[in-house]
Amino acid sequence: MAIDLRFNELITPSLLLDEAKMMHNIDRLEKHTKTLNVSLRPHLKTTKSIDIAHRLLAGGNGPATVSTLAEAEVFFAAGVTDILYAVGIAPQKLARVQSIRASGCNLSIILDNAPQAKAVAKASRDAKNPIPVLIEIDSDGHRGGLRPDDPQLIEIGRILHDGEAELRGVLTHAGESYTVAGKKAHADFAELERVASVAAANALKAAGLPCPVVSVGSTPTAHSARDLSGVTEVRAGVYVFFDLVMAGIGVCRQEDIALSVLTTVIGHQNDRNWILVDAGWMAMSRDLGTSGQAVDQGYGVVCDEAGNIQPDLILSSANQEHGIITHRPGITAPMPDLPVGTRLRILPNHACATAAQHSHYTLIPADYNNALAKWPRFNGW
C-alpha cells in the first residue's frame, strides 16, 4: 500500500526495495527460460511477500516453490494454487499437507528415502487423497537426494506409486554452484543438474513408473543453462533481488541488487577510522556469505543515500544494533566526511537472510512520481 511518508522521514534501519531493479531481474530470467523452452517455477522463500508474488507469477496463481508450509498457506490464501514445498517432508507435517490440499491447493512435496515414502503413501490412503511427490535427486553432493543410479530410487518410486500416492517426478538443486564463479562454471553445474535429473526420470520410466515432471534449479544455474533437453521446469529464488554473494560469483552486478538497508550515521571513532551506524546484525543478519569468496564484503557494501555504491567502504563489523563502517582491507585513503545524521544504504550479502530480519519492504517505485509503498512480508514455519 502507498504510504504518506517522504523518503527522508523513514525510520532507520529500513529495508528498501528498488522496484525498477527488481522488475529488470525478474524479466531477465523469464526471458532466458523462455529461450530454453521450460517453465519457470519461482521460489518465493526469498521474498515472502504477496505483493512480489503477484509480479513474479504468471496470472498470479503459480507455479511457485516454497520452503515452509506457512508460505504455502499464505500464498494459497492469496490465490497461488500450484505450489511445490521443496524441503524434504517430515512425516508429522503430512496432516497439514493434506489440510492444505483439501482446501483446493495443488500442493506437492519432495522426499528421498523409504520411510518418508511409506508415511506419504499411508497418509494418501487414509485420506483417500493422493499426495503428489517429487523424488529428490543428488546432482552434485550438496545436500540431500539420491544419485540417479541408486537402487532406492525405483524402490521409493514403487512405494509411492503402489501405495496410492502420486509419483509426480524428480527434482534436483545444484547448490554447489554457489561455490564457483563465472558463467561457464555455472553452465557446467546446470548440465550436471540436467544429466542427473533426466537419468533418474528415465530410470523410473524404464521401471514402468510415471515421471511427468523433471525439475531443476538454482539461481546460478538457471541463468547460465544452455540446454535443458528433458527438463520440464526451472526453480530459482534470490534472483528477484540478487545480493553480494550472487555478485561475487558473477551471476549479477552489484548495481543489479534491488535490496538494501537504509541506515543513519550515529557516531565516529576517528582514531580507528570507524563510522558507526544504526544497522547492526539485527538489520543485516549474521550472514557472512562472501567471506569465502575472492572479495570479502564483511556484512555489506556501503552506498550513499541515493544508492550509489561507495566501492571502498564496507560494513566490516556488526553488533546487535550497531554497525561499523570501515575501508575494506588495503585502502589507506582518509575516511570520507560522513557527519552524524548522514543516511547510507547497505547492500546485503544474502538477500533472504537480510529480508528475514524485517516486517516489510519500503518500495521505491519505478515511477519516482509515485508515493513510497509498504509491502508486508512474513516469517515462520
Q: Could you tell me if 263 and 323 are in contact, meaning their C-beta atoms sit under 8 angstroms apart?
A: yes
pLDDT tens, residue by residue, 293-352: 999 999 999 999 999 999 999 999 999 999 999 999 989 888 999 999 999 999 999 999
* Domain annotation for the chain: domains and CATH numbers: 36-241 (3.20.20.10), 258-376 (2.40.37.20)
Q: What is the pLDDT of residue 155?
A: 98
Strands (E), the chain: 14-18, 39-42, 64-66, 82-88, 106-111, 132-137, 166-172, 213-216, 233-236, 259-269, 274-277, 301-304, 309-318, 323-327, 343-347, 360-364, 373-376
What confidence tens digit (pLDDT) does each residue in 77-126 have? 999 999 999 999 999 999 999 999 999 999 999 999 999 999 999 999 99
Q: How confident is the model at residue 2 (pLDDT cuts 50, 70, 90)?
A: low
pTM attached to this predicted model: 0.95
> How many Å separate Cα 183 from the centre of its chain?
19
Is the pLDDT assigned to residue 368 strictly greater than 80?
Answer: no
Tell me if 32 sits within 8 A of 344, measured CB to CB.
Answer: no
Closest to 281 measured CA to CA, from 266, 264, 258, 261 = 261
**Which value, in Å, is the radius of gyration of the alpha carbons in the chain?**
22
The residue type of 92 is Q
Non-local CB neighbours of 227 within 8 Å, separated by 6+ positions: 36, 191, 194
Residue length of the chain: 381
- Say what the pLDDT of residue 1 is: 66
pLDDT tens across 114-172, in order?
999 999 999 999 999 999 999 999 999 989 999 999 999 999 999 999 999 999 999 99
Dump pLDDT digits (tens) for 279-296: 999 999 999 999 999 999
CB 298 within 8 A of CB 314: yes
Q: Is-contact 294 181, C-beta < 8 A? A: yes
User: Rounded CA gap, 18 and 26, in Å?
Assistant: 12
Show the cell assigned to 312: 571502498
